[in-house]
Amino acid sequence: MDDICENIRRVKERIAAAAGRSRRDPSDVELLAVSKSWPAEVIREAIDAPHLLFGENKVQEASLKIPQLPSKAKWHLIGNLQKNKIRKALLLFPVIHSIDSLDLAQHVERIADELGRFPDVYLQVNIAGESAKLGFSPDQIHFDLDELLNLKRLHILGLMLIPPFDPDPEKSRPYYARLRELRESLESAGGVPLPGLSMGMSHDYETAIEEGSTIVRVGTAIFGKRGRAATKSAKR
């Protein structure tokens, strides 16, 4: 069995080391434990570690698990958000990493207003221009910036990126560096701070931290391979 507690300890150690290498304070990098596909009883092991910050990618799946777990756990949505799930998402997740268009941002704004919520959000950027991936292009986000900043309910923390997958973390580095540069150019264009960079996954989070990540989204390195989730829960 994977020792989730030990895995979290090890990942946090490596986060601190990567932060140190880039002369950053380790407390400036949050660890979002990506618990998608894992059942509540597995997530509870992480909560007992204790670790309290989790990422889920599906609103429906999260809506079944979150009520089973202690309310001290905090949940971020990291997956594609469909318009018909916005209301449910806002009730479950104080932070959304996947605002991928102005249109979606405007819908979230309207429903947040109805619900009296002020969600924290990251704007998802498709830096590599991959056709299969959602997200603002760098040009589009510059174009939409003023309108995004005018949305009074949305508190924009910064940018989020899922780079093209490559097992070699050095292949991700240029994308992470470009997201940081994009953040800097948006900050000067909009005259606002955008401190958050949601970037880095199990195989490349240390590289992402060296390039300025402020929150890494780590699943496999904590919980193990997701294909095993079903058998693991069936055994319990």
Ligand X SMILES: *Cc1c(COP(=O)(O)O)cnc(C)c1O
Please, are residues 193 and 6 in contact by the beta-carbon 8 Å criterion?
no
Q: Using alpha carbons, select from 48, 73, 83, 37 the residue that is nearest to residue 225.
A: 37
- CA dist 231 and 236 (Å) reads 9
Instruction: Give yes or no for residue 232 binding ligand X (CB under 6 A).
Output: no
Nearest approach, Cβ of 36 to ligand X (angstroms)?
6
Nearest approach, Cβ of 224 to ligand X (angstroms)?
9
Cβ proximity to ligand X: between 169 and 219 the closer is 219
Nearest approach, Cβ of 126 to ligand X (angstroms)?
13
Nearest approach, Cβ of 232 to ligand X (angstroms)?
15
Here's the x/- map for ligand X, 65-104, by CB under 6 A: it reads as -------------xx-------------------------
Helix (H) or strand (E) holding 182: helix 169-190
Q: Using alpha carbons, select from 9, 7, 35 the residue that is nearest to residue 226.
A: 35
The dihedrals phi and psi of 122, each to the nearest 5 degrees, come to -110, 145
Nearest approach, Cβ of 139 to ligand X (angstroms)?
23
Q: Which of 101, 106, 202, 233 binds ligand X (CB under 6 A)?
A: 202
Helix (H) or strand (E) holding 235: helix 229-235
Residues found near ligand X in the complex (CB under 6 A): 34, 36, 57, 78-79, 162, 201-202, 217-221
